[in-house]
A and B are shown apart, each in its own frame.
Chain A
Amino acid sequence: EPEVTQTPSHQVTQMGQEVILRCVPISNHLYFYWYRQILGQKVEFLVSFYNNEISEKSEIFDDQFSVERPDGSNFTLKIRSTKLEDSAMYFCASSKIRTGGTEAFFGQGTRLTVV
């Protein structure tokens, strides 16, 4: 069964460093998403990406964040200068159409720890 894969599964980084989280969405999907879950809290929407550009972003997704689909298969989330409060589980998801109307497939997540 096709699946969304994320790497790495766990990343530890020092405050102020740049990190790139990687995702390989399901190949025939058109919409891609990043979500964040701070420990003990609910999952929050960060950004959606369609047709090689950001479709929607939340207030969390500030100038420190960027997304890219560099090669037609990978989908990356970059955090330019990490802060302690960026420590969270980051989930990538993909869907054939907007997730309002279709099943979303999630990756296993990348646990980011900023020290």
Chain B
Amino acid sequence: KNEVEQSPQNLTAQEGEFITINCSYSVGISALHWLQQHPGGGIVSLFMLSSGKKKHGRLIATINIQEKHSSLHITASHPRDSAVYICAVGDSGGGADGLTFGKGTHLIIQP
């Protein structure tokens, strides 16, 4: 069973700052997902990664398969980025179909 750890648990930053959220996992995966959860509760998929790096607007996600580690970066952060960011991993095969989730990082961007 995979263990997914995120850091930091809570992060408060000023508008415009560069944000980094980290995720590590314990066993091999097929893919890693970064998700965003807003106060209303809904979950939105940001990225799915199996290697390398992806960029979407001000968001960048990277993964290092050998080190079992991924980072989510937000450039030029804005108050609307305030949300919980969740890392989730898919099993590498033969295991559960569902995702295993981290506890999330609660991000607050102050104006």
Residue of B nearest to A91 (CB): B43
Beta-carbon contact of B97 and A42 below 8 Å: no
What per-residue 1/0 map shows which CB atoms of A26-39 lie under 8 Å from chain B? 00000101010100
Q: Which of A16-65 contact B (CB under 8 A)?
A: 31, 33, 35, 37, 41-48, 50, 55-56, 58
Q: Give min CB distance, A110 to chain B, whole Å.
A: 10
Cβ A98 vs Cβ B33 within 8 A: no
- With A100-B31, A108-B41, A109-B41: A33-B101 Cβ-Cβ less than 8 Å: no
Number of interface residues of B (CB under 8 A): 29
Query: Given the complex, which residues of B lie within 8 Å of A33, measured CB to CB?
Result: 97-98
B14-42 interface with A by 8 A CB criterion: 29-31, 33, 35, 40-42
A104 part of interface (Cβ distance < 8 Å): yes
Closest CB-CB distance, B72 to chain A, in whole Å?
15
Interface residues of A in 83-113 (CB under 8 A from B): 89, 91, 98-109, 111
Would B97 and A103 count as touching, CB distance under 8 A? no
Which interface class (under 10, 10 to 19, 20 to 34, 35 or more) fits A?
20 to 34
**Which B residues are in CB contact (< 8 Å) with A50?**
97
- Report A-chain residues with C-beta under 8 Å of the C-beta of B40: 108
> What residues of chain A lie closer than 8 Å to B76, measured between beta carbons?
none
Would you call B101 and A98 a contact (CB within 8 A)?
A: no
CB of B109 within 8 Å of the partner chain: no
Q: In the complex the two chains form, is A45's CB within 8 Å of B42's CB?
A: no
**Chain A contacts of B103 at CB under 8 A?**
41-42
Q: Is residue B107 contacting chain A, with contact meaning CB distance below 8 A?
A: no
Shortest CB distance A45–B (Å): 3
Bound complex: CA of A101 vs CA of B43, how far in Å? 18
Known A-B contacts: A45-B98, A45-B101, A103-B45. Give 9 more (CB < 8 A): A33-B98, A41-B103, A42-B104, A43-B43, A43-B101, A98-B97, A100-B92, A102-B48, A109-B42
Tell me the B residues contacting A by CB distance below 8 Å. Answer: 29-31, 33, 35, 40-45, 48, 50, 86, 88, 90-93, 95-104
A residues engaging B (CB < 8 A)?
31, 33, 35, 37, 41-48, 50, 55-56, 58, 89, 91, 98-109, 111
